[in-house]
Amino acid sequence: MALAELPRIPLACLPTPLEEAKRLSAALGGPRIFLKRDDLTGAGLGGNKVRKLEFVIGRALAEGADTLVACGGFQSNLARITAAMGNRLGLDVTLVLGGVPGEARPLSGNLLLDHVYGADVRYVETVPRWEFGAAVDNVAEELRALGRRPFVMPLGGSSAEGMASYIAATRELLQQCAELGMAPDRLYVAVGSGGTYAGLLLGAFHWGAPYQTIGVSVSRTAEFLRDKIATQAAAAAAALALARVPAAADLWIEGGYVGDGYGEMTDGCREAIALVAQSEGVLLDPVYSGKAMACLIEHVRRGIVGRNETVVFLHTGGWPAIFAYSADALGLNGKRTRWKGRSAS
């Protein structure tokens, strides 16, 4: 299953911009920071899942599916984008959305958009949050009994097809870096289910990227993710006929930025959202990119990232989720808040 032979539905707006964040860099006193704007992939308000679903839905159509079944949390980016892309392709979409017992699910943020897109939304209780048990398979069986041909989407789009999208994205990024005449030292990205990070790592190995790929967990421990992602990446490498396979020791995953759990706000995330919004006019989300940027900011301040280095931050999107958070949660408290160093240029 060579990369070029995979079924693919070209719905993303590619290539996404690679923008230098000069004011953000100045506010941090260096390094040189670039934003890889995968929040601008287009379909369903964009995000990293659009790249993944070009390949995953490509597989679904190749198998004759007429219905997509996706699972995730109440504010799932995958669910939102599946609903939008399904509509573009004339496919029915059923979303199985899980949360811990008693968790509120107001129609806001991504969940509001799921309903605007007209998806069939089912709610289940999941403990832990990412454990759906037989719920998704049961929905698929129900649809088959009705004569439908459902395709069950992998959690987070983290199949070999989903990872292939970020192997291809790595080549796109390296071409852009070459055009700008720069070679990044590090690439930072948020890690949830792990598919984007695994794809980037495979891409870095495959294309000979010059940078370290640093993943920032938003939900689970670094130890758990290292083992899980190494296994995922090895399976994908075998399926895609890639020669080089990363081992757990090759993974750099930061696990100290989760806070109280998935989707739970942290002080570092609040600061990161405000800093990037007010220095670059770019929105981060509280679940993924905000926590990943909090890690990059702290790494600069602690000297882990040198002042003369060049860093790429992969913006995975997800910003519609910000509308599911209150002003208090975002640290605004009804006030106009400015970050220190506002005059940086």
Residues 21 and 170 in one domain: yes
Residues 29 and 53 in one domain: no
CATH code of 275's domain = 3.40.50.1100
Burial status of residue 127 (CB atoms within 10 A of its CB: 0-12, 13-18, 19 or more): exposed
Kindly give, in sequence order, each residue whose CB lies less than 8 Å from that of residue 90, ignoring residues fewer than 6 positions away.
Answer: none
Question: Last residue of a domain, which of 156, 177, 204?
Answer: 156
Q: Is the previous residue joined to 15 through a cis bond, with omega within 30 degrees of 0?
A: yes
pTM over 0.75: yes
Q: Report yes or no on 340 lying in a domain.
A: no
Range of the domain at 122: 49-156
Residues 219 and 307 in one domain: yes
76 is an active site residue:
yes
Query: Among residues 25, 76, 158, 279, which one is catalytic?
Result: 76
Q: Report yes or no on 91 lying in a domain.
A: yes
Q: Is the previous residue joined to 128 through a cis bond, with omega within 30 degrees of 0?
A: yes
Residues 283 and 250 in one domain: yes
Sheet of 212-217: strands edge to edge?
A: 18-20, 32-37, 310-315, 186-191, 212-217, 252-254
Structural domains of the chain, count: 2
Q: pLDDT in tens for each of the 345 residues of the chain?
A: 578 889 999 999 999 999 999 999 999 998 999 999 999 999 999 999 999 999 999 999 999 999 999 999 999 999 999 999 999 999 999 999 998 887 878 899 999 999 999 999 999 998 877 789 999 999 999 999 999 999 999 988 899 999 999 999 999 999 999 999 999 999 999 999 999 999 999 999 999 999 999 999 999 999 999 999 999 999 999 999 998 888 888 999 999 999 999 999 999 999 999 999 999 999 999 999 999 999 999 999 999 999 999 999 999 999 999 999 999 999 987 666 676 655 433
